[in-house]
Amino acid sequence: MNLKIFFPQKNVIVYTFASPRTGDKRYAEIFNSEMKNYTQRIYINGDLVPETPFTTNGPDSYKHVDKKVQLQNHDLNVLAKHRIRNIINTINDYNK
């Protein structure tokens, strides 16, 4: 987000792969307002890491930023879903 703010002439795009929640509700709102069409959060359904930290402190405690891209891969066990190689392979399978 800092790159986009300090270098507005640059086309900054953010891709994250199976990342955890990174901030609270206010952080997500600010990030989304600055980066609204420039972010994709990619993960495979069932990966536990994107579910952390758990939101046990209320609905506003931790939030993901937009825009999620949920991939489906039911052939992988829960640990394999977080490996970047498997995420890339799943993306490639979608593009076949």
Per-residue pLDDT tens digits for 46-79: 998 998 887 766 766 888 898 989 988 888 888 8
β-bridge partners, 44: 71
Q: Which two tokens stand for residue 68?
A: 């999620």
CA distances (Å), 78 to each of 9, 45, 50, 91, in order?
Answer: 41, 9, 12, 17
Least Cα distance to 44 among 7, 21, 17, 64 occurs for 17
Place of tokens 């790159």: 3
Output the pTM of the full model. Answer: 0.78
Q: Where are the domains of the chain?
A: 2-94
What the block records as the tokens of 80 is 């394999």
